[in-house]
A and B are shown apart, each in its own frame.
Chain A
């Protein structure tokens, strides 16, 4: 069984300040973890993924996430927010090996103030 919890439904930051979007997961097996971004009325785009290689994963647009097994977390960070980062972000968990349908978090809306 697997589940994912995004700890904040909304995060508000000022442009140029750091971004932290929090994600905790639960998985009976070795997890694969993903972050996707969705701009309004658009499809989802992959930001980054973890599949049991390096625990610090770098993605597109300056985002990165760190897999922490002891904390069952996969938080998304960016050093400096840009106005174009304003969007909905989804954390997703699946299981390495076998056949498993990904489980989505409920999403975090990132608001960026000028």
Chain B
């Protein structure tokens, strides 16, 4: 089955630690996205990538970093510089960033800072 996988489903981190969230897709999509979701705030864009080896900051990129070394993979690192990282993180992909393309979402990773 084609789709997007995110791991782990739940992640706990101590303050001051970096942590990496995994996102893999086998849909052969060019574009990939990371969103953060907090209660009552909808989805906020962290980073997106339109093609391998290229990525752009979204609305709330501070304290996060990404890489796009392979088409199917777009890992997100939450660094110690992110002051309030506890949230639900969603990865998505689409054929491209042309407006008619719908996004396909992974199941999400819930990150909790202890």
Contact = CB atoms under 8 A, between A and B. Distances in A.
Interface string B6-45: 1000000000000000000000000001000000111101
A105 B44 CA distance: 10
A9 B100 CA distance: 26
B97 A100 contact: yes
A42 B108 CA distance: 6
Given A101-B48, A106-B40, A107-B42, A94 B99 contact: yes
Size bracket, chain B contacts:
20 to 34
B99 A42 contact: no
Contacts, number: 64
A107 to B, nearest CB: 5
Given A42-B108, A43-B106, A105 B42 contact: yes
Interface residues of A, number: 27
A114 interface: no
The dominant DSSP class at the A interface is loop
Contacts of A106: 40-42
B84 to A, nearest CB: 19
A32 to B, nearest CB: 4
Interface string B41-57: 11101001010000000
Interface in B34-88: 40-43, 45, 48, 50, 58, 88
B99 A32 contact: yes
Nearest first, the 7 A-B pairs at minimum CB distance are: A43-B105, A94-B99, A106-B42, A32-B99, A44-B105, A51-B100, A95-B99
